[in-house]
Structure 1
Amino acid sequence: MYIHHKQILTAGTPAEKASKAIIMLHGRGASAASIITLKDHLKLDGYAIFAPQATEHSWYPYSFMAPVANNQPALDSALAIIGDLVEDIKKQGITQENIYFLGFSQGACLTLEYVTRNAGRYGGVIALTGGLIGEQLINDNYKGDFNNTPVLITTGDPDTHVPVSRVNESKTIIEGLNASVTLKIYKGRMHTISADELQLANGILA
């Protein structure tokens, strides 16, 4: 089993000059460098971009639907890396309500898990093909108040990794913490990011 070490790629506007920040979380087998290339399709003018790199290119070893214990200590370590990064960004003068999150696949699951365990007012949350993590979801893990933070969750139907049932369950929990959730399910879409999803993401980022 592995833990993560803090390796953060940055792009965009330097944090000390930026008005907003975005944390981008890559999927399994991918890299911080690959998720950052999405900036060419997103409205990120004035954003400081931060992309952590997972050890062994994976945030946790098994499916996000596996028992949480099976994905430890990697999962807790990944959540801690994000928490540390959020604090670092705040120390650089960017407030929490100006911090945005974007993740794809495993990175989308991790994004939703982090923000829902730490619900508060964020700039926006974009989870491209993801849901909350665990064999069963435990409501007590999720607390706080999103204070109407816009949250976009997408998936394909069917998706090889992310069942629609879990996406719907995640939406219910996140809405219960006062987020403004947009859910988009694409019939027959492959496990990828579509132009329509990027357009919806830009609606939040712009």
Structure 2
Amino acid sequence: MYSHTKQITTSGKEIGQAKKAIIMLHGRGSSARDIISLKRYLKLDEMAILAPEATNNSWYPYGFMAPVGQNQPALDSALNVIEDLVAEIEAEGISSENIYFAGFSQGACLTLEYTARHAKRYGGIIALTGGLVGKQLVESNYKGDFEGTPVFISTGDPDPHVPVSRVNESVDIFKNLKANVSSEIYPGRPHTISAEEIEIVNKEILS
């Protein structure tokens, strides 16, 4: 088992000059630079972009629907990396309603898990093929009020890693926490990011 060291790759505007920031979380086997490359397609021009890098390119060792204990201490360590990064962004004068989150696959799961545990008004939350983490979801873990934060959650049907049922469970929890959630299920789509998802995210979350 492992924990994460703090390695942040940055792009976009300098944090001291930006009015908005986005935390981007890569998938298993990927890297910070890979997830940052989405800036070519997403409307991030005015944002400071910050992407943590996972130890061994993986945020936690097993699938996201394994019992939570099997993914410790890596999962808690990953959540702490995000918490520290949010605190640093806020210390630069960017408040939570101007902080955005985006992740793909394992990074999307981590994005949802962190924000649901720290629900408040954020700029927006983008979970490209992801769901909340754990064999069963423990609703008492999820606290706060998103105050209408726009959220997008997607998966394929079937997807090899993220079942539709978990996306639906996650959508319900986010709605209960007062998020403004849209979700899309793509029949037959492989485990990837589609142009249609990019279009929706740009229009509904980043516009």
Give the 5 Å matches for 1:121-132: 121-132=121-132
Q: Distance in 2 between matches of 1:173 and 1:21?
A: 25
Q: Does 1:205 align with 2:206?
A: yes
Q: Which residue of 2 aligns with 1:70?
A: 70
Give the 5 Å matches for 1:2-151: 2-151=2-151
TM-score by length of 1: 0.99
Q: What secondary structure is seen at the aligned counterpart in 2 of 1:80?
A: helix
Instruction: Give percent identity, aligned residues only.
Output: 66
Q: Distance in 1 between matches of 2:206 and 2:153?
A: 14
Q: Partner amino acid for 2:206? A: L
**How many aligned positions are there?**
206
- List 4+ stretches of structure 1 deviating above 2 A: none
Shift of 1:46: 1.1
Shift of 1:201: 1.2
Q: What secondary structure is seen at the aligned counterpart in 2 of 1:15?
A: coil
Q: Partner amino acid for 1:100? A: Y
Q: What secondary structure is seen at the aligned counterpart in 1 of 2:84?
A: helix
Q: Partner amino acid for 2:185? A: I
TM-score by length of 2: 0.99
Structure 2: 5+ residue stretches without partners: none
Q: Partner amino acid for 1:70? A: Q
Shift of 1:181: 0.3
Shift of 1:200: 1.1
Structure 1: 5+ residue stretches without partners: none
Q: Partner amino acid for 1:129? A: T
Q: Which residue of 2 aligns with 1:176?
A: 176
Q: What secondary structure is seen at the aligned counterpart in 1 of 2:48?
A: strand
Q: CA RMSD in A?
A: 0.4
C-alpha offsets along residues 37-91 of structure 1, whole Å, 9 cap, x if unaligned?
0001011111000000000000000000000000000000000000000000001
